[in-house]
Structure 1
């Protein structure tokens, strides 16, 4: 997962310009990228979250020990990564699509959430030690992780090419980036995909990709505006959030986080053999069916990452 630690600084600057509006309709916050006069982004502590209702047949799938406890001990990454998980304007209320979906799942299971934000590596330490019952934190299913954890999918893992607003250029295949200057974060899966695409272009007699690296997220955006790069390749959720909040860029292409070989998938994660994965999958299927799932994704601008059904331990990204 690529975190976007400095994006909040960009959003704060946008907020001071009046680009972010804290508004709601009594049901939920305004959706990211919604159209019309009332469109805006509510990043305040009063979220008016979409809530679910307990379904007894699904709640019965939860191990008795946890049902007696009445709480779902949930781990999430402490990194500020809008719109996945970040802090509201009060600097203490955790908000984002991951906590919204986890809340719906917990509601369906008849449990209250006890949430703790920790470093990325400590999410898995918490699962290993049974400190956490679940992690809802943009965890991609991989074959290596499946050796230790059980997964119930709830979103697609997609990457996005973000370019300046108004460009007619679109990206669907390696040939579309031949000769283009594209920035990417070093050491990430998207860097590997871009490097592979560049090699493929060269083998086909096309120009390679001119890959650029920057230290800060704000540098990517400044480079886009000054036309020093043609696009930035990063996680689709973060790109969609920046597009909606700043209004100066657009997404010109999507690819799977697994590249050409496999569609990456994001999943609720639990310790293997904990007995919880069936309950998570059933709860996710329920919120998909009742429409609350789609409403949550829409409010955060992630409708294109929706799944039709939760899969338990599907094929994951390859180990190598």
Structure 2
């Protein structure tokens, strides 16, 4: 990793972990909240209830006019997200049915600008891209990393930095800064994810260097993964850093022992609104994101979920992504 990127990623991860230090547990008396320490030494109350009072913004006619006519006539923005995501990205409120988190909040802001009603479709991870391919869904807001391979089939409008986190059982004594630190270790990862691609490449790099490969493990859901982590059946779990930091802060049973850019050693990874290539939707998506970045509502959304350190200054259509072969 380059010195600049390493410092930037480490700084962002440290700030994020600090922002998610647990101050109080869920409070059923006020609909369910969690308080986390903020960067200024105070606390930020995260609403876990179904009544989110989301940050909103006004429609912008000139941007709304860019939306393909079929979508404008329908009046809804069909948004797809993953049932495998976790707090604070996408998860269920205390009623166990309302989808909440930073991803639906940003998607809702974009829909506001486009003058469309957001309609959320929660599916398994592998069905996100399948649904975009078939035209069943308009756009994915589900912690989707920009990669060069995906750019062959999809268009991207970024809205967050992508940092990955290695989570271990608290007190493990482990530290992960590079491939050699996971040689011979058992590491859980989600199938078909950007994290899996990076871990497989690290394992190959270890073998080339004469070290042990990574023992990569797969589980059906987060509960099974964390049970394996607590019981010692796996050493580490590699996932999105926001979920790792949030889980560590709110349970006190795990800790983030290393972070890495989702685009590899020399490029800052980016999370993006994802739409079928040449669907005509990526420009209005990027324009809507840039509008909410400028008017401050985007910053308010990130702040309410403790993710201000993952902000992007601009949504650039189809920026450089994780290389097909990451070196």
Q: TM-score normalised to the size of structure 1? A: 0.75
CA deviations on 1:55-98 (whole Å, 9 max, x unpaired) are 23322322344334332122222335332222222122111111
Q: Structure 1 residue 259 and structure 2 residue 264: aligned?
A: yes
Distance 1:141 1:190, change over 3 A: closer
**Equivalence for 1:20:** 26
Per the TM alignment, residue 230 of structure 1 is displaced from its structure 2 partner at its CA by: 6.3
Q: Structure 1 residue 44 and structure 2 residue 49: aligned?
A: yes
SS of the aligned residue for 2:238 comes to strand
Per the TM alignment, residue 316 of structure 1 is displaced from its structure 2 partner at its CA by: 2.6
Per the TM alignment, residue 45 of structure 1 is displaced from its structure 2 partner at its CA by: 0.7
**Between Structure 1 and Structure 2, how many residues are aligned?**
297
Residue number among 171, 187, 193 corresponding to 1:183 in the alignment? 187
Q: Tell me how large the CA RMSD over aligned residues is.
A: 3.5
Per the TM alignment, residue 159 of structure 1 is displaced from its structure 2 partner at its CA by: 0.7
Q: TM-score normalised to the size of structure 2? A: 0.74
How far apart, CA to CA, are the structure 2 residues paired with 1:225 and 1:128? 38
Distance 1:267 1:210, change over 3 A: closer
CA deviations on 1:221-240 (whole Å, 9 max, x unpaired) are 46766788765332212202
- Name whichever of 44-53 and 156-165 sits farther off: 156-165
How far apart, CA to CA, are the structure 2 residues paired with 1:202 and 1:145? 27
Q: Structure 1 residue 233 and structure 2 residue 233: aligned?
A: no
SS of the aligned residue for 2:131 comes to helix
Q: Structure 1 residue 90 and structure 2 residue 73: aligned?
A: no
Contact 1:19–1:40 under 8 Å retained in 2: no
How far apart, CA to CA, are the structure 2 residues paired with 1:138 and 1:312? 16
How far apart, CA to CA, are the structure 2 residues paired with 1:179 and 1:148? 34
How far apart, CA to CA, are the structure 1 residues paired with 2:268 and 2:288? 23
**Equivalence for 1:62:** 67
Which ranges in structure 2 are unaligned for 5 or more consecutive residues? 1-23
SS of the aligned residue for 1:100 comes to helix
How far apart, CA to CA, are the structure 2 residues paired with 1:125 and 1:239? 27
